[in-house]
Amino acid sequence: MSTVRKPYGSNPLSRLYEEANLPQEIRRSLSLILLGNLFGNMHGIICGGGTTAMIGLANQLQAGDFAFGLLNSIPQAAALLQIPFSLLVNRTHKRKKYLLTYGLFSRMLWLLFGFIPLVVPQEPAGLALWTLIFLLGISSCCSSAINVCWFPWLSDLAPISIRGRWFSIRDSVVAACNLLFGLLVARLLDTLPIESRYIVIFIIGGTVGVLDMICFGFCKEVYSAPPQRLHFGGIVKDILRNRPFLRLIIMWTAWCFCSNMCGPYLARYSVNEMGLTFTQMMVFGTAAASVATILVISRWGKALDHFGCRSVMLVAGGVAALTDAFYLFSTPGNVIPVLLRNFAGAMFWSGTNLAANSMQLSTSPDEIRPSCIAVFACVTSLAGTTLGSLTGGLLLEGWQSAGWFTGSFDRFKALILTAVILRVCVAVFLVPPLQNDREGTPRQLLRSVFHGLMHFNLFRRLDG
């Protein structure tokens, strides 16, 4: 009996690579970038301003709402350094060198975080907390080289025709890993002795972060444009003339501001005010979001390639804007709002993230892409994420000092409602002017989603 040979490989990545007719060396490099992103997301589960590990460490060091907001904001504020790093990358074409120096040093510093409560003296008060803030600042400054290196690197390796699906495959793999790794981290946080808990956790986080950087050491460096000595003023002028990219910056900055007004405080609210354990937060938070992402991310990737980035951003963003509102019904010990917010939210914010990533690449010119990515990250991080997080912290502390919102509708719920309303406004007013890179419309995408839901499938066939 004769067998029919499949035209493409046996796994989704192989099929994508065959479709784009990529040489073996490029395929290997793209797979290594995916592996590096996998380790990087494991690093991010532990190491970051709003992770459960950082919440626990910040609580142990007696951080207030504003100090916690500062811990969330420092990594974003450090994005300012992406601009000089991007100019350096454009001029020297040494992405691998910078990732394996600045990136490695940044990740290795996290190995020290868990020792702070044991090594730093308790007096004067606040010394340990400011030591944590200082180390986080140094690590964040060095990590600014990472984004302006790997993101344009991927753009030069992966053809635009397969980027949406490549991102969706990556995100589904990352989500599955986050599900398992997140449960392990939460279990360790709940069961390890307090004196060794954060030492073990941050050693694990620092190690997987180092592995992320090492993966890029084996990738092929490819550049779509020759080295250039660029000037920041000229880049700003080019960006101001690039209306699609400028509109994207404005929209995503506003989106990040609204999201981070309350987003970083939801996990802390769940642990401190609702009384949930780290394991409950991981199961009904990170794990639930990972399952939702696995279920839908490939569909968003196909929708991106079929209906375009703006259509996906409008549909996904319109629903994602509402999902924090589940916390308005939270009560002590009740995990349902946490589950609904993270599961339903991830089904749609995974689409917004995919669309934002793809639009950065499609609207930025090849010859200045690292600098465009740096300016994008700088503006959205500083004016969006950092300012939003600090604003949320200031509002929480201000309302507490004024004695406002002390009943069942507490200050956190007031902040959540404010942020939800603002995010809906962003989706309604700032997404429609964006450029769409496909002929599909939001109405067609909504019709596809509706018919797909009626048949227990998020999207209908996208080739019909």
Q: Where are the domains of the chain?
A: 23-454
- 4: pLDDT strictly greater than 50: no
Of residues 74, 37, 46, 38, the one with CA closest to residue 202: 46
The mean pLDDT of the chain is 86
- 454: pLDDT strictly greater than 70: no
pLDDT at 5: 43
3-class DSSP string for the chain: CCCCCCCCCCCHHHHHHHHCCCCHHHHHHHHHHHHHHHHHHHHHHHCCCCCHHHHHHHHHCCCCHHHHHHHHHHHHHHHHHHHHHHHHHHHHCCHHHHHHHHHHHHHHHHHHHHHHHHHCCCCCCCHHHHHHHHHHHHHHHHHHHHHHHHHHHHHHHCCHHHHHHHHHHHHHHHHHHHHHHHHHHHHHHHHCCHHHHHHHHHHHHHHHHHHHHHHHCCCCCCCCCCCCCCCHHHHHHHHHHCHHHHHHHHHHHHHHHHHHHHHHHHHHHHHHCCCCCHHHHHHHHHHHHHHHHHHHHHHHHHHHHHHCHHHHHHHHHHHHCCHHHHHHHCCCCCCHHHHHHHHHHHHHHHHHHHHHHHHHHHHCCHHHHHHHHHHHHHHHHHHHHHHHHHHHHHHHHHHHHHCCCCCCCCHHHHHHHHHHHHHHHHHHHCCCCCCCCCCCCHHHHHHHHHHHHHCCCCCCCCCC
Backbone angles phi, psi at 407, to 5 degrees: -90, -150
The model's pTM is 0.73
pLDDT winner (highest mean) among 193-202, 286-295, 300-309:
193-202
pLDDT digits 0-9 by tens, 132-185: 989 999 999 998 888 778 878 888 888 877 887 888 888 888 888 888 898 899
The position carrying tokens 């300016």 is 375
Question: Tell me: domain 23-454, CATH 1.20.1250.20, correct?
Answer: yes
Cβ neighbours of 2 (radius 10 Å) = 4
**Among 90-94, 218-222, 345-349, 407-411, which is the least confidently predicted range?**
90-94
Here the tokens at position 238 are 């080019």
Non-local CB neighbours of 459 within 8 Å, separated by 6+ positions: 299, 302, 303, 448, 449, 452
Mean pLDDT value of segment 401-414 = 90
Mean pLDDT value of segment 396-416 = 91
- d(C-alpha 187, C-alpha 174), whole Å: 20
pLDDT digits 0-9 by tens, 350-367: 899 989 988 988 888 877
Cβ neighbours of 50 (radius 10 Å) = 20
Alpha carbon 73 to its chain's center? 14
pLDDT band of residue 455 (cuts 50, 70, 90) is low
- Is there a contact between 175 and 9 (Cβ–Cβ < 8 Å)? no
Cβ neighbours of 439 (radius 10 Å) = 10
Mean pLDDT value of segment 30-47 = 92
pLDDT band of residue 452 (cuts 50, 70, 90) is low
Give me the percent of the chain exceeding a pLDDT of 90.
38
- Is there a contact between 56 and 118 (Cβ–Cβ < 8 Å)? no
Cβ neighbours of 402 (radius 10 Å) = 10
Of residues 358, 344, 244, the one with CA closest to residue 312: 358
* Dihedral angle sign, alpha carbons of residues 136, 394, 348, 424: negative
User: Which amino acid type is present at position 300?
Assistant: W
